[in-house]
């Protein structure tokens, strides 16, 4: 199949504000002809594209209305085949829970040229911005990352044994997360940090024990948020303590 002369760049925008954009992503945005972007992308990034760039917002935020993935795939293919330079802008890193594989498959099937541009993921940056090291020779010899969007399909018995656990998209399932970890033997006094809107001026951090964290944030809408569970949480410096 002959490739289109257009090209799609699947770009990671980083965890929050424009400061966390990579140099390569910045350069690509400055020459974009079509920008297809997600809900969590910082609005300041939209100012980096040329004034005549077509900007298409496609949502993709958990729990809220969003453009169907098949329609997003179609937009990428359509504008690439029109020989446009297309930027598909995703928050964080495009390969961390970003549905990038579905978009790549659609581009491959249509013979469209593409390139993936890594971004700084909230998996590692959110804990860092909250003063939490994910590894330590004693407290945290390993860490694991999981989406908690569907907590009922996770192996909580295995997750409960890990030194440090990082959960994305788990805000509205916090009670179930806590209950499952305690059920499978996680100490109730294990420290938990919740980092909301990491990398922005609105960043908030809550720290409490596993048994009490739900009570501390019961009136807060925890989206977007990164949850860190493990002894290493007590090692960091925080913007707010409970």
Catalytic annotation, residues: 38, 60, 169
Shortest CA distance to 12 belongs to which of 76, 75, 87?
A: 87
Please answer whether residues 22 and 180 qualify as being in contact, where contact means their C-beta atoms are separated by less than 8 angstroms: no
Close Cβ partners of 83 (under 8 Å, ≥ 6 residues apart): 4, 5, 6
Shortest CA distance to 220 belongs to which of 165, 179, 172, 188?
A: 172
Sheet holding 204-209, edge to edge: 143-147, 164-168, 225-229, 191-196, 204-209
Q: Which residues pair with 36 in a beta bridge?
A: 56, 88
Beta strands in the chain (DSSP E): 7-12, 34-37, 54-57, 85-90, 113-117, 143-147, 164-168, 191-196, 204-209, 225-229
Q: Is 192 helix (H, G, I), strand (E, B) or coil?
A: strand
Please answer whether residues 204 and 228 qualify as being in contact, where contact means their C-beta atoms are separated by less than 8 angstroms: no
With residue 80 as reference, give the H or E element that holds it: helix 69-81
């Amino acid at each position: 199949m002959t490739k289109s002369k257009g090209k799609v760049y699947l770009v990671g925008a980083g965890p929050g504000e424009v400061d966390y954009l990579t140099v390569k992503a910045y350069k690509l945005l400055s020459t974009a002809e079509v920008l297809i972007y997600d809900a969590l992308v910082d609005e300041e990034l939209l100012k980096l594209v040329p004034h005549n760039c077509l900007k298409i917002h496609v949502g993709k935020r958990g729990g809220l209305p969003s453009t169907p993935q098949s329609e997003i795939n179609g937009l990428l293919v359509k504008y690439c085949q029109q020989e446009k330079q297309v930027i598909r802008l995703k928050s964080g890193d495009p390969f961390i829970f970003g549905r990038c594989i579905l978009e790549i498959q659609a581009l491959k099937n249509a013979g469209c040229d593409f390139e993936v541009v890594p971004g700084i993921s909230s998996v590692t940056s959110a804990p860092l911005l909250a003063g939490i090291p994910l590894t330590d020779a004693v407290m945290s010899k390993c860490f694991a990352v999981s989406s908690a969007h569907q907590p009922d399909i996770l192996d909580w018995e295995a997750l409960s044994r890990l030194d440090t656990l990082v959960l994305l998209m788990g805000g509205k399932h916090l009670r179930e997360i806590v209950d499952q970890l305690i059920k499978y033997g996680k100490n109730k006094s294990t420290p938990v940090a919740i980092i909301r809107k990491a990398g922005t001026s609105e960043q908030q951090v809550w720290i409490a024990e596993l048994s009490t964290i739900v009570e501390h944030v019961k009136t807060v809408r925890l989206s977007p948020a990164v949850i860190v569970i493990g002894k290493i949480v007590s090692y960091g410096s925080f913007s707010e303590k409970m």
